[in-house]
Structure 1
Amino acid sequence: MDGDRRGWRQCLLGGTVFAVCMAGTTLPTPLYGLYQEKLGFSELTVTVVYAVYAFGVIGVLLLAGNASDAVGRRPVLLAGLGCAAASAVCFLCATGLGWLYAGRLLSGLSAGLFTGAATVYVLELAPYGGASRATFVATAANMGGLGCGPLLAGTLAQYAPWPLYLPFLVHLALIAGSAAILLWLPETVRERRPPSTVRPQRPGLPPQVRAVFAPAAIASFVGFALFGVFTSVSPAFLAQSLDVDNHAVSGLVVALAFFASTAGQLAVGRVGVRRSLPLGCAGLFAGLALLAGALRWDLLVLVVLSAAVGGGGQGLAFRGALSAVAEASPPDHRASVISTLFVVAYTGISVPVIGVGLLADPLGLEGAGLVFIACMAALVSTAGVYLLRRLKGTPVHP
């Protein structure tokens, strides 16, 4: 009994460290407008600054995604916290665009180091038989941390002094506490190997996985693209079109999408893996439709509903996608297939978001958003129809 309590305490502390790191990746979201005023750059630049993060994540996933299996969980997570701290310092020193690019790249590196290693670490810290609850802790820490970042920064920027400094100073303090916790927690990798054994992971897609992978990848791409647009340009839309200048409200709207994603991922256990992917596609389509309505009629309530519905759809779709491709993959190719899925997903955070930035100047933010929505809706509709046809042709197991 005491061992179980200790295990759950360690599991929760590991989840707290995970959440602190992920919060740093979305911390600048409600502050981009302030940086625009300070440094005088365009909406396109905002989207490029945001998208640099995805390149950092993809680079780590491809080059060192399996590093924690070799050198241990704690060294990799400590390196991730180091990158997060360096990112915060870059934003504190931001007197030009170069600092913002460096800060976002370091933030992407921290997320890439944490995403896989921290998830496995939380599961390994849990007592025997607690895999289901530990999965909940890891999911809540990941998406909940992403949601807490804009909520924290928006609240501090609105109601406290030094809006471009205090959020990052607070985050640095949280990182220092997290590093202390990590040094106290036990290492779970028993047989460690030297760093020279870490090899780049080449994305792979065996022929038998392709039919399952295509709709899963499309749904993941669209879900992450929706999150990318919410976290990069929604504060500007709220300010320019809806006259919502309250940074706390902007942060809350973005946070809602991530919290809804957590709820969607947790709902997969009830609706079943086979149903979750087509239902997630439906949720994403509905979220995109609500966002289109918000852009067309300038209604805040539709933005909020879009965040909630689209976020829930993203959670359902992405967890369903992960489960589907993992089940279809041969054991000796599973890691490479999942890495490929993550690369596609994080491409969704970068490429469409930059496209919105490119179109914002000639078409305006609303026009660029509607073009984005039309493209994403066509993609997710295609995936949804294909999945429904497959679902009708196969037995459904809850």
Structure 2
Amino acid sequence: MSTPARWPYAALLGLAAVALGVSAAPAPLYGIYADAWDFAPITTTLVFAAYAVAALVSVLVAGSLSDRYGRRPVLLGAIGLVLVGLAVFALAGGVAALVVARVLHGLGVGAIVVAGSAALLDLRPGAGARAGLHSGVAFNVGIASVVFLVAVDAQLDLAPLVTPYVTLGVLITLGGVAVLAMPEPHADDRAAKLHVARPQVPRAIAPDFRFAALGVMASWSVLGVFLSLFPTIASHAAGTTNLLFGGSVVAVSAATAAVSQLAGARWPARHAAVVGDLGTAVSLLACIGAVAWGDPVVLVVTSAVLGFFFGLAFGSSLRHLGQVVPAAHRGEVMSAFYVLAYSAMALPTILAGWAATVWGAADIFAPFMVLVALACTAAGVLGLRVRGTAPDEDLDTEPVAGGAAV
């Protein structure tokens, strides 16, 4: 029996990394857009939230569509949407264009995340936890790399509102070529009927899903504010206008998130997620003190610590869910998971932007962080009460037939 090719798995992870990088690319540039077009924090968060709302719509349909028609057609369509969105960004002349571009990216990236995650499970059906680990690391590596490089480009003033989008367009195109070349991962019989399915979670894994979903909702509500408002808040607190500093605060957080997922891979997923949830809560409170202090080094270090626990919370929650989701429901369950994640990203971000416009970003930062810290604490407490549907798989071996459901 021949060994399946490994390159499609790696190519899908690369595509996911670039796609998440696309979603975060404007983060260091919002200050430039705001200065050029004179808009308030609420506008920044609405532009950002347009992505999250569109991604939410996308995950409602991408999972079920990819279950029925295959992963490749959904991924190719999503790549097309991302490319059009990058072109709109590069040619943008006002806020309306930013909103259109973010909607296109939300639709495209949301579909890539859901269909790609399901495809990874298809390619390695006996390694759900490992697929969740790899996905989480790829997401954060993509965000960290792209945000840092965009910030460098912006600080050097190398056409920062055009060059990053052209570069990302080339990388996404390469991802599309890889998807075209790979065989269809989802080989099960599929019903040839267009149907927008409601995300569903099998009753047997409901406790595990609630725990994983609450953890990702708490952590992604932080992610929304970090990618839209935090570069400006941190720069203002440190008394600097250096664009590289604002971008680096976000990039270092995403980088340590990737490291933490690798470090936590040897822990049982549920235990690691609980530590991540509770650690994120403490780190959020530490960020309040760092912003009040205003020391640049302290801000960067605190962001790094927050990123470490954020990554542990998100990656381990995803890994825990990957172990228990039944094969026949992969698309629908991943849709439900990311619907909640993107909802948690969009709504708090819009509220934070509105509050920042009314009272000022510095004034609303502490209350927002406290509220999210409470949510993270609740996720950790719930995790302590969940016993789990199946034992964590050994990441060094493949389970035998009839082992843990994935």
Q: Deviations over 1:288-324 (max 9, x none)?
A: 0121112222232333233322222222223443455
Which residue in 2 is equivalent to 1:26? 24
Task: Give the aligned residue type for 1:166.
Answer: T
Which residue in 1 is equivalent to 2:41? 43
Instruction: Please list, as runs of the form range in 1=range in 2, the aligned pairs for 1:137-216 lying within 5 A after superposition.
Output: 137-190=134-187, 197-204=193-200, 212-216=208-212
1:321 aligns with 2:282: no
Deviation at 1:355, TM superposition (A): 1.4
Distance 1:330 1:81 in 2: 27
Distance 2:329 2:6 in 1: 32
Contact 2:30 2:44 in 1 (8 A): yes
Give the TM-score of the pair, scaled to structure 2. Answer: 0.85
1:203–1:33 Cα change, 3 Å: same
Distance 2:93 2:159 in 1: 15
Distance 2:287 2:42 in 1: 20
1:153–1:109 Cα change, 3 Å: same
Distance 2:147 2:187 in 1: 37
Structure 1 stretch displaced more, 36-45 or 247-256: 247-256
Indicate the percent of aligned positions where both proteins have the same amino acid: 30
Distance 1:386 1:19 in 2: 30
Which residue in 2 is equivalent to 1:289? 285
Distance 1:379 1:161 in 2: 41
Q: Which sections of structure 1, spanning at least 5 residues, go unmatched? A: none
1:277 aligns with 2:273: yes
* Structure with higher helix content: 1
Which residue in 2 is equivalent to 1:11? 9
Q: Which sections of structure 2, spanning at least 5 residues, go unmatched? A: 395-406
1:285–1:129 Cα change, 3 Å: closer
Contact 1:359 1:368 in 2 (8 A): yes
Contact 1:157 1:167 in 2 (8 A): no
Task: Give the aligned residue type for 1:148.
Answer: S
Q: Deviations over 1:362-397 (max 9, x none)?
A: 332111111101111222223334444667xxx999
Which residue in 1 is equivalent to 2:402? none
1:207–1:302 Cα change, 3 Å: farther
Distance 1:108 1:118 in 2: 15
Instruction: Please list, as runs of the form range in 1=range in 2, the aligned pairs for 1:1-398 lying within 5 A after superposition.
Output: 7-122=5-120, 124=122, 136-190=133-187, 197-204=193-200, 212-324=208-320, 336-388=332-384
Distance 1:334 1:124 in 2: 9
Structure 1 stretch displaced more, 19-28 or 304-313: 304-313
Deviation at 1:344, TM superposition (A): 1.8
Deviation at 1:46, TM superposition (A): 0.4
1:129–1:209 Cα change, 3 Å: closer
1:206–1:227 Cα change, 3 Å: same
1:266–1:53 Cα change, 3 Å: same
Deviation at 1:339, TM superposition (A): 3.1
1:200–1:242 Cα change, 3 Å: same
Which residue in 1 is equivalent to 2:399? none
Distance 1:133 1:329 in 2: 14
For these two proteins, the number of residue pairs brought into alignment is 391
Deviation at 1:31, TM superposition (A): 0.4
Deviation at 1:49, TM superposition (A): 0.6
Contact 1:281 1:317 in 2 (8 A): yes
Task: Give the aligned residue type for 1:27.
Answer: A
Deviation at 1:19, TM superposition (A): 2.0
Q: Deviations over 1:140-164 (max 9, x none)?
A: 3332212222122112222252111
Contact 2:66 2:331 in 1 (8 A): no
Query: RCO (CA 8 Å, sep 6+): is it higher in 1 or 2?
Result: 2
Distance 2:72 2:176 in 1: 10
Distance 2:196 2:138 in 1: 27
Q: Deviations over 1:257-311 (max 9, x none)?
A: 2222223333443221231222011221122012111222223233323332222
Task: Give the aligned residue type for 2:25.
Answer: L
Distance 1:18 1:333 in 2: 21
Give the TM-score of the pair, scaled to structure 1. Answer: 0.86
